[in-house]
Amino acid sequence: MNFAKNGLNCTSSLCPLYGNFVPRNKTTEQTQMKDTNRKDQQLSTWLAFALLPLAGFATDIYLPSLPGMSVSLGITEIRTQFTLSIFLISYGISQLFIGSVLDSFGRHKIGVVCLLVFALASFVIARSHNIYLIYLMRVVHGITAATIVVSKRAYFVDVFSGDRLKHYLSLFSIIWSTGPIVAPFVGGYLQNNFGWQSNFYFLGIWAVLFALLEYFFNRESLKHFSPFHFKSIVQVYTSMLRTTSFTLGLLIIGISYSMVMVYNMTGPFIIEHHLHFTAVIAGYCSLIIGFAWMIGGFIGKATIHKPFVKKLSLNLAIQVLICLVMLFSASFIENIFLLASFAFLVHVCAGFAFNVYFTYCLGKFPRNAGIASGLTGGIMYIIVSVLSYGMVYLMPANDTRNLGWSYLILILAVALVMWAVRKNEEPAKQQALVG
């Protein structure tokens, strides 16, 4: 007997004998499949957003632990701070080429493996008392974090398009800011209660958890795999770097973010050693100053249609004024409120300049947006690692005055690059007028 007539079906061939006759039609099945696909896509999107701040967590969660690490490992402050710089260098260099690898071999499997390797490196750091082994594991952290973050950025381009894609892309900077805001706050409590190793145990457990979620609930998002052509990629990079305005823009965003990293590398030492507060208080300060960067980004987005040079020149003048007042005040007063207040204001301005120039650099090559994004992120982190470590070496984490001088030197460097940008634009304008 045919029980599938008129579009009817049942759960098994014997179901009519047991009264388990279930009507089903193609429309119902298609609707159920669409609902399942939609739920899977929502979960994949949430997982992607959750992994975007990974690099921020990997650096900022143990900022309040830097003084404790120095004491525990019996090493100098500058050697402990180098764990941040070496991560940034490997993270930046990896971003330059990892996008092409992911386009050729896919995102999902590589991402899961990198999460597990990231977790293993975290556990090794937590168990190690050898600074050179920690340096090596931080390089592994940088490479794996770059692969994970770039793959998750690419996920949105793979899956979405049009206005929906623009909507998600506009959330990137906000989601990315959660790392520098939340991580030091969590790290301060972990350091205060369990010691510096607990930060890396936390990172390892977190990475294992997300590796399992990725493995069981996510799938490959890349639809068209591209052949890997190293020479053509290098040619595109070379062409971009020969564009003077783009290269100068990279310098400005690198210098702007260096201000944040200089505070990250010196602030905890000033707060805990010089001002004699706990790691929890250092975490609270990093939390507040993290919000400053986000506020600067929002201001940059709100003023997107304002004259480019005018708004940046005003921002630069405000930064110089803030630093001069900071240096003058630090000569007479030395407390945590002075440090946090002026650092907050400097970081708002730095976040504004970063947002404006980051948008400028990404929009410079619309036909090669993916490569431009990887190059911008990669070069930026290389500049940040070199500048921040250099500033900390020249201006050790002694007091608020040294931090103020570090800020002022970096701000004057931004002014010099901006002057070069304007000088570069003048011949182009004259040529356009002649044409």
43: pLDDT strictly greater than 70: yes
Other CB atoms within a 10 A radius of the CB of residue 209 amount to 12
List C-alpha distances in Å: 184 to 19, 178, 191. 61, 10, 10
- pLDDT of amino acid 327: 93
Summarised one tens digit per residue, pLDDT across range 367-390 is 565 567 678 778 888 898 889 888
- pLDDT of amino acid 140: 97
For 74, left (φ over 0), alpha (ψ -120 to 50), or beta?
left
- Residue 122: which of 180, 200, 196 has the closest Cα? 200
Residue pair 96/375 in contact by the 8 Å Cβ criterion: yes
Residue pair 264/63 in contact by the 8 Å Cβ criterion: yes
- How far apart are the C-alpha atoms of 420 and 417, rounded to whole Å? 5
Summarised one tens digit per residue, pLDDT across range 129-185 is 999 999 999 999 999 999 998 888 778 777 777 777 766 766 676 677 777 778 888
Q: Which two tokens stand for residue 296?
A: 């600067």
396: pLDDT strictly greater than 90: no
For 6, left (φ over 0), alpha (ψ -120 to 50), or beta?
left
pTM > 0.85: no
Summarised one tens digit per residue, pLDDT across range 173-192 is 667 777 777 888 888 889 98
- pLDDT of amino acid 5: 44
- Tokens 């609902």 -> residue: 35
Residue pair 151/115 in contact by the 8 Å Cβ criterion: no
List C-alpha distances in Å: 95 to 48, 229, 367, 376. 17, 16, 19, 9
- How far apart are the C-alpha atoms of 388 and 382, rounded to whole Å? 10
List C-alpha distances in Å: 87 to 58, 102, 198, 279, 311. 9, 21, 19, 22, 33
DSSP 53: T
- How far apart are the C-alpha atoms of 229 and 236, rounded to whole Å? 11
- pLDDT of amino acid 200: 96
Summarised one tens digit per residue, pLDDT across range 6-36 is 444 444 434 443 444 445 555 544 444 444 4
Report the residue count for the chain. Answer: 435
Summarised one tens digit per residue, pLDDT across range 270-307 is 998 888 888 888 888 888 888 898 888 888 878 877 88
Burial (Cβ within 10 Å: 0-12, 13-18, ≥19) of residue 279: buried
Long-range contacts of 357-361, Cβ-Cβ distance < 8 Å, separation of 24 or more? 357/249, 357/252, 357/253, 357/256, 358/173, 358/253, 359/300, 359/304, 360/249, 360/308, 361/246, 361/249, 361/250, 361/253
Cα end-to-end span (Å), the chain: 84
Residue pair 60/184 in contact by the 8 Å Cβ criterion: yes
Amino acid of residue 274: H
- How far apart are the C-alpha atoms of 292 and 144, rounded to whole Å? 28
* Complete DSSP assignment for 55-67: HHHHHHTTGGGHH
Which one is predicted more confidently, 39 or 217? 217
- pLDDT of amino acid 3: 46
Domains defined along the chain, listed by start: 41-228 (1.20.1250.20), 229-424 (1.20.1250.20)
DSSP 272: I
Q: Phi first, then psi: what are they for 346, rounded to 5°?
A: -60, -40
Residue pair 59/181 in contact by the 8 Å Cβ criterion: no
Amino acid of residue 407: Y
